Amino acid sequence: MTSKELKQILQALIEYQVSELSLETPDYKLSVKRGQVLLAQAPDSKIPVVHAPAVQITPQAQPAGQNHPPVSAETAQAAAEKEKLEEVRAPIVGTFFRSPSPEAEAFVKEGDRVEKGQVLCIIEAMKLMNEIESEFSGTIRKILVQNAEPVEYGQVLFLIDPS
């Protein structure tokens, strides 16, 4: 199994909120449970079982000036309908990051003009960094998630004015 195939399996587990999966082939056996990963070769193999500890997400300190008060989904939806704003939603469960590293500048800020395909943020899921791109061009009107905050599948992250 390639790392790309493993990444796709793990992303699907997160997306569909699967709590447990077992996969067995002639070459390996893979068992994934929320909080732990067990990987072992076939019983006749001499490769030992590898245990990965539970994934723990530790929020990083936020640079000054990047704090945003939490906005409820209802408030975000009402604002979007009122102003005809487009919503950018989280495609996976994970931790939201506004920049590629703690020292780096944020990908986007409120008021920035973005183009379709431009990276808006990163969502970390199971130690994999997933770049989230804009689905349309426009101006960022509201960033609804704080840096290093956990996000759910389908949660509104950004409101974009397409005009």
Do residues 132 and 77 both lie within one domain?
Answer: yes
Average pLDDT over residues 87-98: 94
Query: Is 60 inside a domain boundary?
Result: no
At residue 96, φ and ψ (nearest 5 deg) are -85, 130
* CA distance readout (Å), 157 to 87, 130, 134, 153: 7, 14, 11, 10
Q: Which residues, 6+ apart, have CB-to-CB distance to 115 below 8 Å?
A: 134, 137
Using one digit for the tens of pLDDT, what is the confidence trace for 35-92?
544 444 444 444 444 434 333 333 334 444 444 445 555 566 555 555 689 999 999 9
Query: Is 20 inside a domain boundary?
Result: yes
Please give the residue range of the domain that contains residue 108: 73-161
Report pTM: 0.52
Query: Is 67 inside a domain boundary?
Result: no
Using one digit for the tens of pLDDT, what is the confidence trace for 116-138?
999 999 999 988 999 999 999 99
Do residues 81 and 149 both lie within one domain?
Answer: yes
**What CATH code is carried by the domain that includes residue 93?**
2.40.50.100
Do residues 24 and 83 both lie within one domain?
Answer: no
Query: Is 59 inside a domain boundary?
Result: no
